[in-house]
Amino acid sequence: MTSTAAPLDLLLLPTWLVPVEPAGVVLKEHGLGIRDGRIAFIGPRAAALKLAANEVRELPGMLLSPGLINAHGHAAMSLFRGLADDLPLMTWLEKHIWPAEAKWVDEAFVRDGTDLAIAEQLKGGITCFSDMYFYPKVASDCVHNSGMRAQIAIPILDFPIPGASTPDEAIRQGVELFGDLKHHPRIKITFGPHAPYTVCDENLEKIRIIAEELDASIHMHVHETAFEVQQAVEKTGERPLARLGRLGLLGPRFQAVHMTQISEDDLALLVESNTSIIHCPESNLKLASGFCPVERLWQAGVNVAIGTDGAASNNDLDLLGETRTAAMLAKAVAGSATALDAHRALRMATLNGARAMGLESEIGSLEVGKAADIVAFDLSGLAQQPIYDPVSQLIYATGRDCVKHLWVAGKQLLDDRQLTRMDEQQLTATAIAWGQRISGHSE
C-alpha cells in the first residue's frame, strides 16, 4: 500500500495483533489501518508510521483481535438473570421461565432487556451476537441504534408467543423483517424454529421452503439434553437430528445450538450436510444438560462456534469467559490436554461464529478488506505477567474487564472501557426497576 492513497481514518498500533486467519499467527509490533469502516492496512509498525492517518492510537501492552462473536443468546432474557437458578431444564422452562415470559414480556421488556444485553456484550469485547427472542423487530431497532452487529432469529413455535399468536404469523413477520433489513449493513435476519419438540413437521417444512427462497439461515436448539433425544426416539423411533435431515433442513445455512448428544450417525449427518454447531458450555453445565464433544466435531471437520445462551441460564454474557470454559471442558471431555488449544478457542469465538452465520467474508478475522470489527484487550496487568504466548494469556488468564476499546465497522463503541453511545447508569437503573417489578409481583 502506498502513501498516495487517501489517508487512513485511524491507525492502531498495538503490541500484538492476532489476525485469526491465517491460523495460529501472532504479529508483534504491527499496525492496523482503518478507512471507511474497513481494514485498509496491516503491516509492520515502521511501514504503518509512514502512512498518512487522521488519527493514530498507540496501544502499548494491548492485543488486537477480531471482535468476539456470540453465536447464540436470548438478549432480552437479561432481565430474568438469576430469576430461577439451580433447576433442571424442563422445570426451569415450564414452571418458571415460560410463565414469567407470559406475564412480563412485551415490547418495552424486549427493548430494555436487549439494550442491557448489548451494553454488557460490548463491554465484554463482543462486536456481533445472535439473538433469538420475541418481538424481533424491537430487538433489530435496538441493534440498529447501538451500532453493534447482530443476527436476529425469528422465534417460531407451534403455540402462541408474545408478539405472534400463530406460527404462520411469526413466519410472516419474519419474511417482512427480512425484506425490510436485507440491505442493512449490520443486521442479518434468520429463522429460529425453537426446538424439534416445539415445532411440527408441517411448520418446519414451511420454514425450510422460505429459508431456501430467501437464502436465509435457520437457527435452532437441537439435542440439548439426552431426555429430549430419548423422548423423540420413544415417540417416533427417530432422533431429532435425523428428522431434521429427512425434512431437508440441515446444511451450511443451518445452525444447530447445543448438540450435547452426538451419535456416530449424528456426526456423519453433520459432516455430510456441512451444518454448523453452536456450543454453549456454561448454560449446558448449569442446567446439567450434557457436554458437546467439541474436539471430536472439530477433528471431523465440523464448524463449531460458541454462544453464551441467555443470561437467565448462564448467568452472564461473557464470551471470553465462555471460551475459556469451552477450552477446559473440551480437554476433559476428550480426555486430552491438547484438545481445543488457545488459538483454536479464539478462532471458535471469532471466525467460526462468522462462518456459522454466513458472514465469514465480512467479519471474524483481521484481514484487509473486511469490516473493522475489532477489540483491544489490555494485557499489561499484573495477572497477565509474564507473557510467553499472548493468546494463551488471553484465553486462560484474562477476564472481560481487560477489554479496553472496541470498534464495529470502524466506529468506536467502547473507549477506555466507557460506552460511547449508551448510558450505562440509565441502563442499570432501568434493569433495577424491572427487577423490582418482577420480584414484587412474583410472590
Q: Which residue has the cell 495477572?
A: 383
Reported residue count of the chain is: 443
CA-CA distance, 127 to 407, in Å (whole number)?
A: 7
Task: Look at residue 441 in the predicted model and tell me its pLDDT.
Answer: 54
Q: Exposure string (b/e) for 39-60, b if CB count within 10 Å is 16 or more?
A: bbbbbebeebeebebeeebebe
Q: pLDDT digit string (tens) for 317-366?
A: 999 999 999 999 999 999 999 999 999 999 999 999 999 999 999 999 99
Instruction: With a cut of 90, say whether residue 104 has pLDDT above it.
Output: yes
What are the backbone dihedrals phi and psi of residue 54, each rounded to the nearest 5 degrees, phi first?
-70, -30
- Identity of the residue numbered 73: G
Task: Look at residue 2 in the predicted model and tell me its pLDDT.
Answer: 41
Sequence-ordered alpha helix ranges (H) in 182-318: 201-214, 226-236, 240-246, 264-273, 281-286, 294-300
Q: Which residue has the cell 404469523?
A: 169
Nearest to 340 by CA among 386, 377, 373, 292: 292
Q: In a 3-state reduction of DSSP, which class is residue 197?
A: coil
CA-CA distance, 152 to 381, in Å (whole number)?
A: 36
What is the β-pairing status of strands 10-17 and 30-35?
antiparallel
Contact 410/37 with Cβ under 8 angstroms? Answer: yes
Cα distances from 129 to residues 19, 75, 125, in angstroms, run: 20, 9, 11
DSSP string, 335-399: T-TTSS-HHHHHHHTTHHHHHHTT-TTTSSS--TTSB--EEEEE--SGGG-S-S-HHHHHHHH--
Give the residues across from 66 on adjacent strands: 374
Confidence of residue 3 (pLDDT cuts 50, 70, 90): very low
Residue 432, CB-side half-sphere exposure with 13 Å CA sphere: 6
CA-CA distance, 276 to 305, in Å (whole number)?
A: 7
Nearest to 371 by CA among 413, 409, 412: 409
Instruction: With a cut of 60, say whether residue 442 has pLDDT above it.
Output: no
| Count of other CB atoms within 10 angstroms of residue 267 | 17
Give the residues across from 125 on adjacent strands: none
Residues of the chain above pLDDT 70, percent: 98
Q: Three cell numbers at 141?
A: 431497532
Task: Look at residue 5 in the predicted model and tell me its pLDDT.
Answer: 81
Instruction: With a cut of 50, say whether residue 91 has pLDDT above it.
Output: yes
Contact 156/191 with Cβ under 8 angstroms? Answer: yes
CA-CA distance, 371 to 38, in Å (whole number)?
A: 4
Residues of the chain above pLDDT 90, percent: 96
Task: Look at residue 57 in the predicted model and tell me its pLDDT.
Answer: 98
**Exposed, middle or buried by CB within 10 Å (0-12, 13-18, 19+), for 316?**
middle
Contact 112/430 with Cβ under 8 angstroms? Answer: yes
When pLDDT is averaged across residues 153-157 and rounded to a whole number, the result is 98
Q: pLDDT digit string (tens) for 376-434?
A: 999 999 999 999 999 999 999 999 999 999 999 999 999 999 999 999 999 999 999 99
- Identity of the residue numbered 279: H
Task: Look at residue 4 in the predicted model and tell me its pLDDT.
Answer: 54
Instruction: With a cut of 90, say whether residue 114 has pLDDT above it.
Output: yes
Q: pLDDT digit string (tens) for 269-313?
A: 999 999 999 999 999 999 999 999 999 999 999 999 999 999 999
- Identity of the residue numbered 390: P
What is the β-pairing status of strands 38-44 and 30-35?
antiparallel
When pLDDT is averaged across residues 73-86 and rounded to a whole number, the result is 96
Question: What is the strand order of the sheet 276-279 is part of?
Answer: 68-70, 126-132, 149-156, 187-193, 218-222, 254-258, 276-279, 304-306
Q: pLDDT digit string (tens) for 224-269?
A: 999 999 999 999 999 999 999 999 999 999 999 999 999 999 999 9
When pLDDT is averaged across residues 113-124 and rounded to a whole number, the result is 98
Task: Look at residue 122 in the predicted model and tell me its pLDDT.
Answer: 98
How many Å from the N-terminal Cα to the C-terminal Cα in the chain? 65
Confidence of residue 117 (pLDDT cuts 50, 70, 90): very high
Q: pLDDT digit string (tens) for 37-53?
A: 999 999 999 999 999 99
Q: Three cell numbers at 159?
A: 403455540
* Domains of the chain: residue spans and CATH: 10-66+370-409 (2.30.40.10), 68-356 (3.20.20.140)
**Exposed, middle or buried by CB within 10 Å (0-12, 13-18, 19+), for 425?**
exposed
